[in-house]
Chain A
Amino acid sequence: MLKYIMIIGAISIYEIYMMVKKRQMKDFNAFLIFVLIALLASYIHVHDPFDASLSELLLKLVKSEYFKGG
Protein backbone atom coordinates (compact mmCIF):
# COMPACT_ATOMS: atom_id res chain seq x y z
CA MET A 1 0.00 0.00 0.00
CA LEU A 2 2.83 2.36 0.89
CA LYS A 3 4.41 2.13 -2.56
CA TYR A 4 1.11 3.07 -4.20
CA ILE A 5 0.62 6.01 -1.81
CA MET A 6 4.14 7.17 -2.68
CA ILE A 7 3.52 6.89 -6.44
CA ILE A 8 0.14 8.64 -6.22
CA GLY A 9 1.65 11.31 -3.97
CA ALA A 10 4.57 11.92 -6.33
CA ILE A 11 2.28 12.22 -9.36
CA SER A 12 -0.10 14.51 -7.44
CA ILE A 13 2.69 16.85 -6.32
CA TYR A 14 4.05 17.07 -9.87
CA GLU A 15 0.64 17.66 -11.49
CA ILE A 16 -0.44 20.23 -8.87
CA TYR A 17 2.87 22.04 -9.34
CA MET A 18 2.24 22.10 -13.10
CA MET A 19 -1.34 23.31 -12.55
CA VAL A 20 -0.11 26.18 -10.38
CA LYS A 21 2.58 27.00 -12.94
CA LYS A 22 0.11 27.03 -15.84
CA ARG A 23 -2.58 28.72 -13.74
CA GLN A 24 -5.06 25.89 -14.23
CA MET A 25 -6.20 25.65 -10.61
CA LYS A 26 -9.81 25.57 -11.81
CA ASP A 27 -9.31 21.82 -12.40
CA PHE A 28 -7.86 21.19 -8.93
CA ASN A 29 -11.09 19.82 -7.38
CA ALA A 30 -11.58 17.38 -10.24
CA PHE A 31 -7.96 16.29 -9.85
CA LEU A 32 -8.56 15.58 -6.16
CA ILE A 33 -11.45 13.26 -7.12
CA PHE A 34 -9.03 11.30 -9.32
CA VAL A 35 -6.48 11.12 -6.49
CA LEU A 36 -9.15 9.77 -4.12
CA ILE A 37 -10.24 7.18 -6.70
CA ALA A 38 -6.59 6.13 -7.15
CA LEU A 39 -6.17 5.75 -3.36
CA LEU A 40 -9.39 3.76 -3.14
CA ALA A 41 -8.29 1.52 -6.03
CA SER A 42 -4.93 0.91 -4.36
CA TYR A 43 -6.69 0.02 -1.10
CA ILE A 44 -8.98 -2.45 -2.92
CA HIS A 45 -6.03 -3.93 -4.82
CA VAL A 46 -3.93 -4.44 -1.68
CA HIS A 47 -6.56 -5.43 0.91
CA ASP A 48 -9.24 -7.02 -1.32
CA PRO A 49 -12.15 -6.00 0.97
CA PHE A 50 -14.80 -7.77 -1.14
CA ASP A 51 -12.84 -11.02 -1.21
CA ALA A 52 -13.61 -11.23 -4.93
CA SER A 53 -12.43 -9.64 -8.14
CA LEU A 54 -14.53 -7.13 -10.07
CA SER A 55 -15.20 -9.73 -12.81
CA GLU A 56 -16.39 -12.20 -10.22
CA LEU A 57 -18.80 -9.67 -8.72
CA LEU A 58 -20.17 -8.67 -12.12
CA LEU A 59 -20.42 -12.27 -13.34
CA LYS A 60 -22.38 -13.18 -10.22
CA LEU A 61 -24.67 -10.26 -10.96
CA VAL A 62 -25.56 -11.67 -14.40
CA LYS A 63 -25.62 -15.27 -13.08
CA SER A 64 -22.88 -16.41 -15.44
CA GLU A 65 -22.36 -20.08 -16.24
CA TYR A 66 -18.74 -19.56 -15.22
CA PHE A 67 -19.59 -20.57 -11.66
CA LYS A 68 -21.48 -23.71 -12.64
CA GLY A 69 -18.25 -25.56 -13.28
CA GLY A 70 -18.22 -29.10 -14.59
Chain B
Amino acid sequence: MEKGKGKISIRQVMFLFVVTVYTPSVRFVAGYSAGKAKQAAWLTPLVTLIPFLVLIYVLNALLQKYKGLSFMDIIYDVTSRFWGKIILLLYLVWLTVLLALYVRFYAERLVTSIYPNVNMNLFTISMLLIVAIIIRAGIVAIARMNEIIFLIELFVILSLFLLMIPTIKTDYLTPISSMDIVPVMKGSIGNTGLIYITYLFFFSDRFSRTKEFIRYSLYAGIFLWLVSTIIIITSVGTLGHSIVGRSPLSFLIAVKNISLLGVLSGFESILVASWILTDFILIIVFTYSIMNITKSLLNLRDFKPFINIFFVILYLLTWILGVNVFELQAFSADFAIQMNLLMQVIVPILIFFIAKIRKKV
Protein backbone atom coordinates (compact mmCIF):
# COMPACT_ATOMS: atom_id res chain seq x y z
CA MET B 1 0.00 0.00 0.00
CA GLU B 2 2.63 2.52 0.98
CA LYS B 3 5.79 2.78 -1.04
CA GLY B 4 8.40 3.51 1.61
CA LYS B 5 8.61 2.86 5.32
CA GLY B 6 6.71 5.41 7.36
CA LYS B 7 4.93 6.80 4.31
CA ILE B 8 1.28 6.89 3.36
CA SER B 9 -0.17 6.75 -0.12
CA ILE B 10 -2.14 9.62 -1.66
CA ARG B 11 -5.22 7.40 -1.48
CA GLN B 12 -4.82 7.19 2.30
CA VAL B 13 -4.22 10.94 2.47
CA MET B 14 -7.53 11.50 0.71
CA PHE B 15 -9.29 9.15 3.11
CA LEU B 16 -7.86 11.22 5.96
CA PHE B 17 -9.02 14.41 4.26
CA VAL B 18 -12.55 13.12 3.68
CA VAL B 19 -12.93 11.86 7.25
CA THR B 20 -11.61 15.08 8.82
CA VAL B 21 -14.15 17.10 6.84
CA TYR B 22 -17.06 14.83 7.79
CA THR B 23 -17.60 15.95 11.41
CA PRO B 24 -17.53 19.72 10.81
CA SER B 25 -19.73 19.19 7.74
CA VAL B 26 -22.39 17.41 9.74
CA ARG B 27 -22.25 19.99 12.53
CA PHE B 28 -21.86 23.18 10.58
CA VAL B 29 -22.50 23.04 6.82
CA ALA B 30 -26.27 22.56 6.78
CA GLY B 31 -26.94 25.35 9.29
CA TYR B 32 -24.56 27.84 7.69
CA SER B 33 -25.70 27.15 4.12
CA ALA B 34 -29.40 27.22 5.04
CA GLY B 35 -28.90 30.49 6.90
CA LYS B 36 -27.35 32.15 3.84
CA ALA B 37 -28.87 30.39 0.80
CA LYS B 38 -32.23 29.29 2.29
CA GLN B 39 -33.95 26.58 0.17
CA ALA B 40 -31.10 26.67 -2.39
CA ALA B 41 -28.57 25.62 0.29
CA TRP B 42 -28.11 22.20 -1.32
CA LEU B 43 -26.41 23.90 -4.30
CA THR B 44 -23.64 25.44 -2.17
CA PRO B 45 -21.32 22.36 -2.27
CA LEU B 46 -21.33 22.63 -6.06
CA VAL B 47 -19.89 26.16 -5.90
CA THR B 48 -17.26 24.96 -3.41
CA LEU B 49 -15.85 22.65 -6.07
CA ILE B 50 -14.37 25.71 -7.87
CA PRO B 51 -12.03 26.89 -5.06
CA PHE B 52 -11.34 23.24 -4.29
CA LEU B 53 -10.11 22.62 -7.85
CA VAL B 54 -7.97 25.77 -7.76
CA LEU B 55 -6.43 24.68 -4.46
CA ILE B 56 -5.79 21.18 -5.79
CA TYR B 57 -4.02 22.62 -8.83
CA VAL B 58 -1.83 24.83 -6.61
CA LEU B 59 -1.00 22.09 -4.11
CA ASN B 60 -0.27 19.61 -6.88
CA ALA B 61 2.16 22.04 -8.54
CA LEU B 62 3.98 22.50 -5.22
CA LEU B 63 3.90 18.79 -4.39
CA GLN B 64 5.31 17.73 -7.77
CA LYS B 65 8.06 20.33 -7.63
CA TYR B 66 9.05 19.68 -4.01
CA LYS B 67 8.88 15.90 -3.93
CA GLY B 68 9.57 14.37 -0.52
CA LEU B 69 9.39 17.73 1.28
CA SER B 70 6.80 18.96 3.75
CA PHE B 71 4.73 22.12 3.38
CA MET B 72 7.02 23.75 5.97
CA ASP B 73 10.06 23.16 3.77
CA ILE B 74 8.14 24.46 0.74
CA ILE B 75 7.23 27.65 2.63
CA TYR B 76 10.86 28.13 3.73
CA ASP B 77 12.14 27.68 0.20
CA VAL B 78 9.57 29.95 -1.42
CA THR B 79 9.40 32.79 1.11
CA SER B 80 12.76 32.66 2.97
CA ARG B 81 13.45 31.19 6.39
CA PHE B 82 12.44 34.32 8.34
CA TRP B 83 9.05 34.82 6.68
CA GLY B 84 8.55 31.07 6.63
CA LYS B 85 8.90 30.94 10.42
CA ILE B 86 6.35 33.75 10.82
CA ILE B 87 3.85 32.03 8.49
CA LEU B 88 4.35 28.73 10.29
CA LEU B 89 3.88 30.39 13.67
CA LEU B 90 0.53 31.73 12.43
CA TYR B 91 -0.40 28.25 11.22
CA LEU B 92 0.64 26.78 14.56
CA VAL B 93 -1.44 29.22 16.59
CA TRP B 94 -4.47 28.97 14.36
CA LEU B 95 -4.42 25.18 14.10
CA THR B 96 -4.13 24.91 17.89
CA VAL B 97 -7.15 27.21 18.37
CA LEU B 98 -9.07 25.26 15.72
CA LEU B 99 -8.19 21.97 17.35
CA ALA B 100 -9.31 23.29 20.74
CA LEU B 101 -12.59 24.30 19.10
CA TYR B 102 -13.11 20.79 17.74
CA VAL B 103 -12.23 19.11 21.02
CA ARG B 104 -14.73 21.36 22.80
CA PHE B 105 -17.39 20.79 20.14
CA TYR B 106 -16.84 17.04 20.41
CA ALA B 107 -17.55 17.11 24.15
CA GLU B 108 -20.39 19.65 23.84
CA ARG B 109 -22.05 17.57 21.14
CA LEU B 110 -22.02 14.43 23.25
CA VAL B 111 -23.42 16.27 26.26
CA THR B 112 -26.17 18.04 24.31
CA SER B 113 -27.15 15.03 22.18
CA ILE B 114 -27.13 11.86 24.25
CA TYR B 115 -25.31 12.37 27.55
CA PRO B 116 -26.92 15.29 29.41
CA ASN B 117 -25.75 15.92 32.99
CA VAL B 118 -22.41 14.25 32.33
CA ASN B 119 -19.26 16.22 33.06
CA MET B 120 -17.66 17.28 29.77
CA ASN B 121 -14.21 16.65 31.21
CA LEU B 122 -14.91 12.94 31.04
CA PHE B 123 -15.18 13.05 27.24
CA THR B 124 -12.45 15.62 26.70
CA ILE B 125 -9.81 13.98 28.88
CA SER B 126 -10.56 10.44 27.66
CA MET B 127 -10.30 11.54 24.02
CA LEU B 128 -7.05 13.44 24.61
CA LEU B 129 -5.55 10.49 26.49
CA ILE B 130 -6.41 8.07 23.66
CA VAL B 131 -5.05 10.46 21.03
CA ALA B 132 -1.86 10.99 23.09
CA ILE B 133 -1.27 7.23 23.10
CA ILE B 134 -2.23 6.47 19.47
CA ILE B 135 -0.34 9.40 17.89
CA ARG B 136 2.95 7.81 18.94
CA ALA B 137 2.19 4.92 16.59
CA GLY B 138 2.81 7.27 13.66
CA ILE B 139 0.89 8.40 10.63
CA VAL B 140 0.95 4.99 8.90
CA ALA B 141 -1.02 3.34 11.71
CA ILE B 142 -3.41 6.30 11.85
CA ALA B 143 -3.99 6.18 8.08
CA ARG B 144 -4.68 2.45 8.17
CA MET B 145 -7.09 2.86 11.05
CA ASN B 146 -8.76 5.66 9.15
CA GLU B 147 -9.48 3.41 6.18
CA ILE B 148 -11.79 1.34 8.38
CA ILE B 149 -13.35 4.46 9.90
CA PHE B 150 -13.96 5.81 6.40
CA LEU B 151 -15.95 2.69 5.49
CA ILE B 152 -18.01 3.01 8.69
CA GLU B 153 -18.66 6.68 7.91
CA LEU B 154 -19.71 5.82 4.36
CA PHE B 155 -22.06 3.10 5.58
CA VAL B 156 -23.62 5.40 8.21
CA ILE B 157 -24.17 8.36 5.89
CA LEU B 158 -25.65 6.22 3.10
CA SER B 159 -27.89 4.27 5.48
CA LEU B 160 -29.19 7.43 7.11
CA PHE B 161 -29.79 9.04 3.72
CA LEU B 162 -31.81 6.05 2.52
CA LEU B 163 -33.83 6.04 5.74
CA MET B 164 -34.45 9.79 5.50
CA ILE B 165 -35.64 9.83 1.88
CA PRO B 166 -39.34 9.45 2.88
CA THR B 167 -39.10 12.46 5.23
CA ILE B 168 -37.63 14.82 2.60
CA LYS B 169 -40.12 17.37 1.28
CA THR B 170 -39.24 18.78 -2.14
CA ASP B 171 -41.20 21.96 -1.25
CA TYR B 172 -38.44 22.80 1.25
CA LEU B 173 -35.76 22.50 -1.48
CA THR B 174 -37.45 24.53 -4.20
CA PRO B 175 -38.00 26.93 -5.98
CA ILE B 176 -34.55 27.71 -7.36
CA SER B 177 -34.08 30.78 -9.53
CA SER B 178 -31.38 33.21 -10.67
CA MET B 179 -32.15 35.20 -7.49
CA ASP B 180 -30.38 32.42 -5.55
CA ILE B 181 -26.98 32.85 -7.21
CA VAL B 182 -25.59 35.38 -4.73
CA PRO B 183 -26.98 33.63 -1.59
CA VAL B 184 -25.58 30.32 -2.86
CA MET B 185 -22.17 31.92 -3.35
CA LYS B 186 -22.33 33.32 0.21
CA GLY B 187 -23.48 29.98 1.58
CA SER B 188 -20.62 28.16 -0.14
CA ILE B 189 -18.11 29.96 2.11
CA GLY B 190 -19.08 27.52 4.86
CA ASN B 191 -18.13 24.53 2.70
CA THR B 192 -14.98 26.19 1.36
CA GLY B 193 -13.81 26.88 4.89
CA LEU B 194 -13.71 23.15 5.51
CA ILE B 195 -11.27 22.14 2.77
CA TYR B 196 -8.74 20.84 5.26
CA ILE B 197 -6.39 19.34 2.70
CA THR B 198 -3.84 22.13 3.23
CA TYR B 199 -3.47 21.15 6.88
CA LEU B 200 -2.61 17.61 5.80
CA PHE B 201 0.29 18.98 3.77
CA PHE B 202 2.22 19.67 6.97
CA PHE B 203 3.27 16.04 6.73
CA SER B 204 3.51 15.89 2.93
CA ASP B 205 7.06 14.57 3.30
CA ARG B 206 5.32 11.34 4.35
CA PHE B 207 3.30 11.08 1.12
CA SER B 208 4.12 8.44 -1.45
CA ARG B 209 2.73 8.00 -4.99
CA THR B 210 2.37 11.76 -5.31
CA LYS B 211 1.72 11.51 -9.05
CA GLU B 212 -1.77 10.23 -8.23
CA PHE B 213 -2.59 13.40 -6.30
CA ILE B 214 -4.86 15.03 -8.90
CA ARG B 215 -6.80 11.83 -9.58
CA TYR B 216 -7.51 11.02 -5.93
CA SER B 217 -8.20 14.68 -5.12
CA LEU B 218 -10.90 14.71 -7.76
CA TYR B 219 -12.42 11.55 -6.30
CA ALA B 220 -12.30 13.13 -2.83
CA GLY B 221 -13.83 16.38 -4.13
CA ILE B 222 -16.71 14.55 -5.80
CA PHE B 223 -17.24 12.43 -2.71
CA LEU B 224 -17.34 15.46 -0.44
CA TRP B 225 -19.68 17.27 -2.79
CA LEU B 226 -22.03 14.27 -2.64
CA VAL B 227 -21.81 13.93 1.16
CA SER B 228 -22.31 17.66 1.77
CA THR B 229 -25.25 17.72 -0.64
CA ILE B 230 -26.79 14.69 1.08
CA ILE B 231 -26.37 16.31 4.52
CA ILE B 232 -27.95 19.58 3.35
CA ILE B 233 -30.77 17.94 1.37
CA THR B 234 -31.73 15.67 4.26
CA SER B 235 -31.53 18.48 6.85
CA VAL B 236 -33.25 21.24 4.86
CA GLY B 237 -35.62 18.81 3.11
CA THR B 238 -36.80 17.40 6.44
CA LEU B 239 -36.93 20.49 8.67
CA GLY B 240 -36.99 23.48 6.30
CA HIS B 241 -34.32 26.14 5.94
CA SER B 242 -35.63 28.43 8.69
CA ILE B 243 -35.28 25.75 11.39
CA VAL B 244 -31.98 24.39 10.05
CA GLY B 245 -30.49 27.89 9.80
CA ARG B 246 -31.25 28.59 13.45
CA SER B 247 -30.66 25.30 15.19
CA PRO B 248 -27.39 23.73 16.26
CA LEU B 249 -26.98 20.07 15.25
CA SER B 250 -29.74 20.31 12.63
CA PHE B 251 -28.65 17.06 10.97
CA LEU B 252 -29.00 15.26 14.30
CA ILE B 253 -32.54 16.64 14.69
CA ALA B 254 -33.35 15.44 11.15
CA VAL B 255 -31.95 11.99 11.97
CA LYS B 256 -34.05 11.89 15.15
CA ASN B 257 -37.13 12.19 12.92
CA ILE B 258 -36.39 8.85 11.25
CA SER B 259 -38.94 6.22 12.10
CA LEU B 260 -38.68 2.92 10.29
CA LEU B 261 -42.10 1.27 9.74
CA GLY B 262 -43.38 3.42 12.59
CA VAL B 263 -41.62 1.18 15.10
CA LEU B 264 -37.83 1.53 14.89
CA SER B 265 -36.26 4.84 15.87
CA GLY B 266 -33.21 6.14 17.77
CA PHE B 267 -30.93 6.17 14.73
CA GLU B 268 -29.15 9.22 16.12
CA SER B 269 -27.03 6.92 18.27
CA ILE B 270 -25.46 5.53 15.07
CA LEU B 271 -24.70 9.07 13.93
CA VAL B 272 -23.16 10.00 17.28
CA ALA B 273 -21.01 6.84 17.23
CA SER B 274 -19.70 7.74 13.78
CA TRP B 275 -19.10 11.30 15.02
CA ILE B 276 -16.87 10.05 17.83
CA LEU B 277 -14.79 8.02 15.37
CA THR B 278 -14.39 10.85 12.88
CA ASP B 279 -13.70 13.34 15.70
CA PHE B 280 -10.94 11.03 16.85
CA ILE B 281 -9.37 11.09 13.37
CA LEU B 282 -9.82 14.86 13.09
CA ILE B 283 -8.13 15.47 16.45
CA ILE B 284 -5.30 13.05 15.80
CA VAL B 285 -4.58 14.40 12.27
CA PHE B 286 -4.63 18.02 13.41
CA THR B 287 -2.39 17.16 16.36
CA TYR B 288 0.01 15.39 14.03
CA SER B 289 0.13 18.48 11.79
CA ILE B 290 0.66 20.78 14.79
CA MET B 291 3.45 18.58 16.12
CA ASN B 292 5.16 18.58 12.72
CA ILE B 293 4.94 22.38 12.52
CA THR B 294 6.36 22.63 16.06
CA LYS B 295 9.19 20.28 15.14
CA SER B 296 10.07 22.38 12.12
CA LEU B 297 9.61 25.73 13.84
CA LEU B 298 11.75 24.92 16.87
CA ASN B 299 14.20 22.64 15.03
CA LEU B 300 13.35 19.69 17.25
CA ARG B 301 14.81 16.22 16.90
CA ASP B 302 11.53 14.54 17.83
CA PHE B 303 8.11 15.86 18.80
CA LYS B 304 7.13 12.94 21.04
CA PRO B 305 8.33 14.56 24.34
CA PHE B 306 6.01 17.49 23.55
CA ILE B 307 2.79 15.51 23.06
CA ASN B 308 1.72 15.29 26.73
CA ILE B 309 2.43 18.92 27.58
CA PHE B 310 0.72 20.00 24.35
CA PHE B 311 -2.43 18.14 25.39
CA VAL B 312 -2.42 19.92 28.74
CA ILE B 313 -2.29 23.25 26.86
CA LEU B 314 -5.01 22.02 24.50
CA TYR B 315 -7.26 20.91 27.35
CA LEU B 316 -6.92 24.31 29.04
CA LEU B 317 -7.52 26.07 25.74
CA THR B 318 -10.80 24.19 25.20
CA TRP B 319 -12.09 25.89 28.36
CA ILE B 320 -10.48 29.27 27.68
CA LEU B 321 -11.98 29.29 24.19
CA GLY B 322 -15.62 29.78 25.06
CA VAL B 323 -18.14 29.94 27.85
CA ASN B 324 -21.01 28.17 26.14
CA VAL B 325 -21.95 26.44 22.88
CA PHE B 326 -23.65 29.55 21.45
CA GLU B 327 -20.44 31.53 21.74
CA LEU B 328 -18.54 28.69 20.08
CA GLN B 329 -21.05 28.55 17.22
CA ALA B 330 -20.75 32.28 16.66
CA PHE B 331 -16.97 31.92 16.77
CA SER B 332 -17.17 29.08 14.27
CA ALA B 333 -19.38 30.98 11.81
CA ASP B 334 -18.02 34.53 12.18
CA PHE B 335 -14.33 33.92 12.75
CA ALA B 336 -13.14 30.35 12.24
CA ILE B 337 -14.50 29.95 8.72
CA GLN B 338 -12.91 33.18 7.51
CA MET B 339 -9.61 32.28 9.15
CA ASN B 340 -9.78 28.83 7.57
CA LEU B 341 -10.37 30.41 4.17
CA LEU B 342 -7.31 32.56 4.68
CA MET B 343 -5.01 29.87 6.03
CA GLN B 344 -6.00 26.91 3.89
CA VAL B 345 -6.96 28.50 0.57
CA ILE B 346 -5.54 32.01 0.25
CA VAL B 347 -2.10 31.46 1.87
CA PRO B 348 -1.23 28.38 -0.28
CA ILE B 349 -2.35 30.26 -3.41
CA LEU B 350 -0.19 33.24 -2.39
CA ILE B 351 2.77 30.93 -1.79
CA PHE B 352 2.19 29.42 -5.22
CA PHE B 353 2.20 32.87 -6.86
CA ILE B 354 5.36 33.88 -4.98
CA ALA B 355 6.95 30.63 -6.16
CA LYS B 356 5.83 31.43 -9.73
CA ILE B 357 7.30 34.94 -9.55
CA ARG B 358 10.55 33.59 -8.14
CA LYS B 359 10.48 30.88 -10.85
CA LYS B 360 10.53 28.06 -8.33
CA VAL B 361 7.58 26.14 -9.85
A→B interface (CB under 8 Å): 4, 7-8, 11-12, 14-15, 18-19, 24, 26-27, 30-31, 33-35, 37-38, 41-42, 44-45, 53-56, 58-59, 62, 64-66
Q: Does B330 have its Cβ within 8 Å of any Cβ on chain A?
A: yes
* Closest Cβ neighbor of B97 among chain A residues: A54
The contact of B305 among A31, A56, A62, A66, by CB within 8 Å, is A31
What would 18 A/B residue contacts be, using CB atoms closer than 8 Å? A7-B312, A8-B312, A15-B305, A24-B305, A26-B301, A27-B301, A30-B306, A33-B298, A34-B306, A37-B313, A45-B316, A55-B322, A55-B323, A55-B327, A55-B335, A59-B331, A62-B334, A66-B326
Q: Which residues of A have CB within 8 Å of B115?
A: none
Whether B335 lies near A27 (C-beta < 8 A) is no
Assembly CA distance A40 to B327 (angstroms): 23
User: A7–B309 Cα gap in the complex (Å)?
Assistant: 9
Residue ranges of B at the interface with A (Cβ–Cβ < 8 Å): 97, 294, 298, 300-302, 305-306, 308-310, 312-313, 316-317, 319-323, 326-328, 330-331, 334-335, 338
B contact patch SS: helix
Output the least CB separation between B165 and chain A (Å).
Answer: 36
Look across to chain A and name the residue whose beta carbon is closest to the beta carbon of B331.
A55
- Supposing A11-B309, A30-B298, A64-B335 touch, asked if A53 and B316 sit within 8 A by C-beta, the answer is no
Q: Within the complex, which residue of B97, B306, B317 is in contact with A41, where a contact is CB–CB below 8 Å?
A: B317
Q: Are A53 and B312 in contact (CB under 8 A)?
A: no
Contacts of B310 in A (CB 8 A): 34
Starting from the known contacts A11-B309, A14-B308, A58-B335, 12 additional A-B residue pairs (CB-CB under 8 Å) come to A15-B306, A27-B301, A38-B313, A41-B320, A42-B316, A45-B319, A53-B322, A53-B323, A54-B97, A56-B322, A59-B335, A65-B330
* A41–B314 CA distance with the chains assembled, in angstroms: 9
In the complex, what residues of A have CB within 8 A of residue B338's CB? 62
B302: chain A residues at CB < 8 Å are 24, 27
For A14, list chain B residues within 8 Å (CB).
308
| Nearest B residue to A61, CB-CB | B335
Q: How far is the CB of B238 from chain A (nearest CB, A)?
A: 27
- Cβ–Cβ contact A15 & B319, under 8 A: no
Contacts of A37 in B (CB 8 A): 313
Top 3 nearest A-B pairs by Cβ distance? A66-B330, A55-B331, A41-B316
Question: B328 contacts which of A31, A34, A55, A62 (Cβ < 8 Å)?
Answer: A55
| Contact in complex: A53, B306 (CB < 8 Å) | no
On whether the beta carbons of A65 and B313 are closer than 8 Å, the reply is no
Q: How far is the CA of A41 from the CA of B294 in the complex (A)?
A: 18
Chain B nearest CB: distance from A49 CB in Å? 11
**Are A64 and B312 also in contact (CB < 8 A) when A19-B305, A27-B300, A27-B301 are?**
no
Which residues on the A side are within 8 Å of B298 (C-beta)? 27, 30, 33
Q: List residues of chain B with CB within 8 A of the CB of A66.
A: 326-327, 330, 334
Contact between chains at B309 and A56 (CB < 8 Å): no
**CA–CA, A68 to B321, complex, Å?**
20
A60 CA to B326 CA, complexed, in Å: 15
Kindly provide the distance from the CB of B133 to the nearest chain A CB, expressed in whole angstroms: 14
Q: Are B305 and A44 in contact (CB under 8 A)?
A: no
C-alpha gap A7/B313 in the complex (Å):
11
In the complex, A45→B125 CA distance in Å?
A: 16
Residues of chain A lying within 8 A (CB to CB) of residue B321: 53-55
Chain B hits for A59, CB < 8 A: 327, 330-331, 334-335
Q: List B contacts of A27 (CB < 8 A).
A: 298, 300-302, 305-306
Contact A64 B330 (CB under 8 A): yes
